[in-house]
Structure 1
Amino acid sequence: MTPDSTPVSDGGRDCYACAAEARFDTLPPRERIAFDAHWRAAHAFGTALPGWLVLLPRRHVTAVHDLTDAEAATFGTWQVRLSRAPREVTGCVRTYVVQFAEAEGFAHVHFHIVPRAGGLAPAHRGPGVFELLRRPEPEQVTAARADHLAHALRTRL
């Protein structure tokens, strides 16, 4: 395990989040909307929802109970800040905060902060919102739009 102050991966072979962290300085705005020594916020990819964010620890962690005290100390603050910013940018009526971290290549703990628009179809509310993730390319938020949103979100954090 790396010291609390070291913002690098300490493992995570075949881990998408750790691979991104390894090239942190060259990540596009959508992949580093906001960060500190312990956490990084990114725009989700493959989603049809603008402003769908992901909060990731900056070291490899596969279970919430393995967060350090230092990571845990700022965890709640990050969730609240990342729930407020999309409301201001997208106009969503609420945000969902969800964590599973079990998909192949995505076992690294990460928290989805999902903007729920007022007009979202009932079938896509609650757990159904995940139907809007990994959408066909024509339905996805483009990289350029995610970068634009990243700049707008950053100014509100």
Structure 2
Amino acid sequence: MECLTCLNLSGERRISPAPFIYEGEHWVVDHAYPTTHAGWLVILPKRHVEALHELTLEEYQERAEIEYKLVQAMRGYDSVQKEYTMCFAEGEGFHHVHIHVVPRPFDLAPELKGPRVFGFLQVDAEHAIQAPELTAFCEDFKRRLAALG
């Protein structure tokens, strides 16, 4: 089966029209796409892994630091009440481990709370955040991360 995450990481077939937000030794942070929800980030291991138990201690340590910084940067947006994190790696073409980090706004509709937040990903590219807006968001978020040190 074709791994869409590996194709995305190699640049062969990018998923998001925006640039990566972060690139570390073991992980990359990208913006989920297509979506109508700005800030839906995905932490991706650079190597192909299909289960969390396959990660090394070094990979876990780097991921913890990245995830901490992501939620701290999200906290800087006035609309964000809290953050959701999820890892399933079960979707067709997406068995590569990936961790979703999603800002949960104060005004989130009840029908999108909890795991139903994935409704934000049930959109085609035509109705999703457009590339210029998404790129501007990712560049702003990258600056917020850099300011955290």
TM-score, normalisation: structure 2: 0.87
1:132 maps onto 2:120 in alignment: yes
Q: Which residue number in structure 2 is paired with residue 116 of structure 1? A: 104
Contact 1:41 1:56 (8 Å CA) reproduced:
yes
- CA shift at 1:94, angstroms? 0.9
**Among 3, 9, 27, the residue aligned to 1:21:** 9
Equivalent position of 2:26 in the other structure: 38
Q: Which moved more, 1:99-108 or 1:83-92?
A: 83-92
Q: Does 1:55 align with 2:22?
A: no
Counterparts of residues 70-81 of structure 1 (less than 5 Å): 70-81=58-69
Taking a change above 3 Å as real, the CA distance of residues 131 and 145 of structure 1, as seen in their structure-2 partners, is same
Conserved? CA contact 1:29–1:150, under 8 Å: no
After TM superposition, give the deviation of residue 67 of structure 1 in Å.
0.4
Runs of at least 4 residues off by over 4 Å: 26-29
Count matched residues: 144
8 A contact 2:16–2:32 mirrored in 1? no
> Structure 1 residues 75 and 59, CA, compared in 2 at 3 Å: closer, same or farther?
same
1:90-141 CA-to-partner distances (Å, cap 9, x unmatched) read 6311110000001011100001101111111011010110111131344311
- Greater displacement, 77-86 / 121-130: 77-86
Q: In structure 2, do the counterparts of structure 1 residues 134 and 34 end up closer, same or farther at CA, with 3 Å as the change threshold? A: same
Structure 1 spans left out of the alignment, 5+ residues: 1-12
User: Secondary structure at the residue paired with 2:76?
Assistant: helix
- From the superposition, tell whether residues 31 and 61 of structure 1 become closer, same or farther in structure 2 (CA, over 3 Å): farther
1:45–1:134 Cα contact (<8 Å) kept: no
143-152 vs 53-62, greater mean Cα deviation: 143-152
Q: Which runs of 5+ in 2 are unaligned?
A: none
**Residues 89 and 142 (structure 1 numbering): CA distance in 2 closer, same or farther, change over 3 Å?**
farther
Identity of aligned residues (%): 35
Instruction: Tell me which residue corresponds to 1:66.
Output: 54
How far apart, in 1, do the equivalents of 2:87 and 2:99 lie? 5
